[in-house]
């Protein structure tokens, strides 16, 4: 039988613990051939703390873990009885597997996120920000444009009484 991907629901904040528990239970019960990868989709986020860039990991789907497995009664009970697992996503007795398209989308999102850290801050147009880095340090301005692909903002800063557009990276500004 082929393995399919399923989503299991866990207590929020215990995703890594569930993964570790599941891996050790699979070995203990000798079900390595029935259970494949166990994935916790995360992304790296960057923020400024104390004037330094700090990278941390953030879950895409808090409270959920993806598991590749060959579903049968033994596997279902093993997963369901794992500490801090509340169940499978789908009907209680007959969980529905993810389609290949959904799995590809999640794995692609994780791969893309790994290449380029995401800023923790989300900015909006016409929001007032303070510049914390670069030649315009300590100036304030208003967000005019947001470029999510490049993680940059066009901020309108008043210099010598005139409003001037300045392009800055997300990490060079902070919200007021």
Render each residue's pLDDT in the chain as its tens digit; 176 residues: 689 999 999 999 999 999 999 999 999 999 999 999 999 998 888 877 776 778 888 888 999 999 999 999 999 999 999 999 999 988 767 898 999 999 999 888 888 776 766 777 788 999 999 998 889 999 999 999 998 878 889 999 998 889 999 999 888 888 88
Query: In whole angstroms, what is the distance from residue 63 CA to residue 11 CA?
Result: 6
Question: For residues 9 and 15, is the Cβ–Cβ distance under 8 A?
Answer: no
- Residues 108 and 141 grouped into a single domain: no
Single pTM value for the model: 0.70
Helix, strand or coil for residue 142? Answer: strand
Residue 84 sits in the same domain as residue 152: no
Q: Are 114 and 139 members of one domain? A: no
Give the bridge partners for 95, in sequence order: 90
Q: Residue 147 and residue 4: Cα distance in Å, rounded?
A: 37
Identify the domain boundary among 88, 119, 150: 119
* Domains: count for the chain: 2
Residues 95 and 132 in one domain: no
Give the range of the structural domain holding residue 32, as residue numbers without chain letter.
4-119
All residues at 6 or more sequence positions from 112 whose CB lies less than 8 Å from its CB, including other chains:
none
Q: Which long-range contacts (CB under 8 A, 24 or more apart) does 111-117 make?
A: 113/42, 113/43, 113/44, 113/60, 114/43, 114/44, 116/151, 117/43, 117/44, 117/45, 117/46, 117/55
Q: Are residues 95 and 145 in the same domain?
A: no
Containing 16, the helix (H) or strand (E) segment is helix 15-29
The answer to whether residues 97 and 133 belong to one domain is no
Q: Are residues 81 and 147 in the same domain?
A: no
Q: Do 75 and 133 belong together in one domain?
A: no
Closest to 48 measured CA to CA, from 175, 143, 174, 176 = 174
Query: What count of other Cβ atoms lies within 10 Å of the Cβ of residue 154?
Result: 16
């Amino acid at each position: 039988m082929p393995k399919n991907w399923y989503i299991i629901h866990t207590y929020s904040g215990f995703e890594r613990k569930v993964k570790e528990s599941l891996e050790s239970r699979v070995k203990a019960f000798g079900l390595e051939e029935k259970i494949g990868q166990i994935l916790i989709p995360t992304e790296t986020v960057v923020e400024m703390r104390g004037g330094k860039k700090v990278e941390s990991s953030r879950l895409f789907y808090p409270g959920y873990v993806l598991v590749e497995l060959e579903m049968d009664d033994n596997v279902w009970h093993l997963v369901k009885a794992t500490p801090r697992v509340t169940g499978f996503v789908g009907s209680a007795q007959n969980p529905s597997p993810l389609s290949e398209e959904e799995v590809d989308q999640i794995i692609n999102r994780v791969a893309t996120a790994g290449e380029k850290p995401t800023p923790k801050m989300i900015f909006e147009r016409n929001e007032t920000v303070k510049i914390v880095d670069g030649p315009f340090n300590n100036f304030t301005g208003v967000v005019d444009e947001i470029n999510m692909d490049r993680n940059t903002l066009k901020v309108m800063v008043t210099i010598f009484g005139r409003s001037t557009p300045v392009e800055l990276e997300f990490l060079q500004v902070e919200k007021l």
